[in-house]
A and B are shown apart, each in its own frame.
Chain A
Amino acid sequence: MSAAIEFRDVRRVFGAIVAVDRVSFTIEPGEFFSMLGPSGSGKTTCLRLIAGFEQPDAGEVCLDGLDVSATAPYDRNVNTVFQDYALFPHMSVLDNVTYALRVRRVPAAECRRRGEEMLALVKLADTGARRPAQLSGGQKQRVALARALVNRPKVLLLDEPLGALDLKLREEMQLELRTLQRRLGITFVYVTHDQGEALSMSDHVAVFNSGRLEQLDSPQALYTRPRTAFVARFVGGANVIDGRYAVRAEHITVAIAGAPVPAGAVCIEGTILDTQYHGAVRRWQVRTADDQLITATRPESDTAPAAREPGARVALIWARGHQIPLMAD
């Protein structure tokens, strides 16, 4: 069985900016695949290359083993949920959902049946007659989802679909999207800049940085074995020590300077810049003698009150086993 999507050495240039720089990766059928990165990292351009809104300047984009680099969006069996939803304001919700069927001249009765089925799937069964302007943000999101799924695409592309929703709704929708993806078995390609979202939903995550693919791995591997300083910092905000290895904030113990260091542990001394209380943990920001900024998060009960005062000298201690070696950038 061929890969659902394959990028082979793909390059896309806008003027002087290299948006996608010789990127290669494979997405397997039926997986939940996330593309993670800061804005301008090339993740959205990759999504647009899959949808067909952009053509690669070099390399190949393959769907189902076929090179579609020159295929128009309307000839690809791929649908997109847009960041701004892009619902047609002059059509009813049902007409929006059945758009893909109507342009293929599916009979009206079948359009209606499948449209209503889709609206039920996204729990909006009785809103078909309304206009998009009469819906809330979360409802628009669901309509956009139903509209993109109605033609049963092989691949669903989602471009930061939850970005405009508030936190509670976003978490609900994350769960629903994941459930929906498992149920339908469709390949989801999900673009986000939220590392928590990418880790919690995906089978695989591709981390992008300034047009390059930094690392493609399972969420666990990405978190526990980041390969570059960028990935270590971007995914879970690890500390990068001397540019050579990463240490997670939750693996660092804070003690009063001069405390005994256990065997097999590493110790760096520094001055507390500030600490913040987060409930379950407290977060320290410590500046070391060679001017590195290190973050530690520990349960508050683990530390002496004296090691919480800004300006206090503290020792940061971690086990050697928690050091993750990094490739040079």
Chain B
Amino acid sequence: MTAFVSTFFYRRRSLAVYLLLVPPLLWFGIVYLGSLFALLAQSFYAIDEFTATIVRRVTLATYAQLFTQRANLDIVLRTTQMAIAVTLAAAVIAFPIANFMARHARGRVKAFFYVAVMLPMWTSYLVKVYAWRLILAKEGILSWCLAALGLDGVLEGVLRTPGIGGPSLSSSYLGMFIVFVYMWLPFMILPIAAALERVPASLLAASADLGATPAQTFWRVTLPLALPGVAAGSIFTFSLTLGDYIIPSVVGAPGYFIGMMVYQQQGMAGNIPLAAAFSVVPIVLIGIYLALARRAGAFDAL
């Protein structure tokens, strides 16, 4: 009987592959995409202002509310700016680390770096956010260190800067930015390191051999070949920042972010259509970002 089953599947190998694919496809198709579309469909409904009930009729009123009300538009812009800043900073900080891990570190040093990059992810996310609130607090360890170094004037100057400053680091956009970059850095380092690992050392040798200085080799060979990794990492940092609601509510200035708005509208206000409309924004932004990255040739080396 088992022999019959083995023979049956051996003769129809593609059938076995499809059978194995059915459970994950069902999960992805029904549970994930299904609920996503159910949510998105809600964004085309609107709420009745007086009865606070959802009117199940297709309308663009919710989107109009999202894009015409100054407060809502500010939330979208604020979140997008933060996501762009966090992504750029994470890429700039991650690249040298990933480059060292992939190209220079060997043996135990390399293992240490990979573990060190992933180790923070083993700790609870909330613990890290609250720890950062303490680090960045007015009388926290960071301001104490800066004071000990005689740099407290610099910190005060930075905190007085409009837009990014505030009464303390833990209640400023700068503090929020620092926490975001810290949180998502591993998601940027690992894809870049993976991309750099795949670049044969002989390509860099060939570039030097043909007369390129190390800087020219970086801009013309290393970076273009690592771009798919940078693109993958930046999709993580960009979308994670767009969707997060815990960091903006624990650290930073009082302004709302998209994630907080989704949480509040669907959890407390019961305005599921507006929450759904807000959650469409990151999806659209990521789509635009991917199209731009593709246009810029980020995936040519794939």
Residues of A at the B interface (CB closer than 8 Å) are 51-53, 72-74, 78-80, 82-84, 86, 88-90, 99-100, 103-104, 147-148, 151
Contacts and interface: CB of A to CB of B under 8 A. Distances in A.
Nearest to A150: B210
Q: What 3 A-B pairs have minimum CB-CB distances, sorted nearest first? A: A86-B202, A100-B210, A86-B206
A103 B301 contact: no
Interface string B212-226: 110010001100110
A99 B210 CA distance: 7
Contacts of A147: 210
Contacts, number: 64
Interface of B: 200, 202-203, 205-213, 216, 220-221, 224-225, 297, 300-301
Given A53-B209, A83-B202, A99-B207, 8 more contacts: A74-B208, A79-B209, A86-B203, A90-B224, A90-B301, A100-B211, A148-B210, A151-B211
A280 B64 CA distance: 90
B200 A74 contact: no
Nearest to B225: A90
Contacts of A80: 205-206, 209
A20 to B, nearest CB: 18
A100 B213 CA distance: 11
Contacts of B301: 89-90
A147 B207 CA distance: 11
Specify which of B202, B206, B221, B225 lies most central, judged by the most chain A CB atoms within 10 Å of its CB: B206
Contacts of A90: 224-225, 297, 300-301
Contacts of B212: 74, 99, 103
A82 B206 contact: yes
A196 to B, nearest CB: 26
Contact of B200 (A52, A73, A86): A86
B225 A89 contact: yes
Contacts of A78: 209
Specify which of A51, A53, A78 lies most central, judged by the most chain B CB atoms within 10 Å of its CB: A53
A82 B221 contact: no
A73 B205 contact: yes
A40 B207 CA distance: 25
B223 to A, nearest CB: 10
Nearest to A98: B210
20 contacts: A51-B209, A52-B209, A53-B209, A72-B208, A73-B205, A73-B209, A74-B212, A78-B209, A82-B202, A86-B200, A86-B203, A86-B206, A88-B203, A88-B207, A88-B221, A89-B225, A90-B225, A90-B300, A100-B210, A148-B209
A80 B221 CA distance: 17
B220 A103 contact: yes
B231 to A, nearest CB: 14
B225 A73 contact: no
A103 B209 contact: no
Nearest to B221: A88
Specify which of A88, A104, A148 lies most central, judged by the most chain B CB atoms within 10 Å of its CB: A88
Nearest to A79: B209
Contacts of A83: 202
Nearest to A78: B209
Contacts of A72: 208
Given A84-B200, A89-B225, A89-B301, A151 B205 contact: no
Given A88-B221, A100-B210, A82 B205 contact: yes
A178 to B, nearest CB: 23
A103 B208 CA distance: 10
A99 B203 CA distance: 12
A248 B32 CA distance: 75
B211 A104 contact: yes
Contact of A74 (B213, B220, B221): B213
Nearest to B212: A103
A80 B203 CA distance: 12
Contacts of B221: 88
A51 B251 CA distance: 54
B224 A103 contact: no
Contacts of B220: 99, 103
B65 to A, nearest CB: 45
B152 to A, nearest CB: 45
Nearest to B216: A103
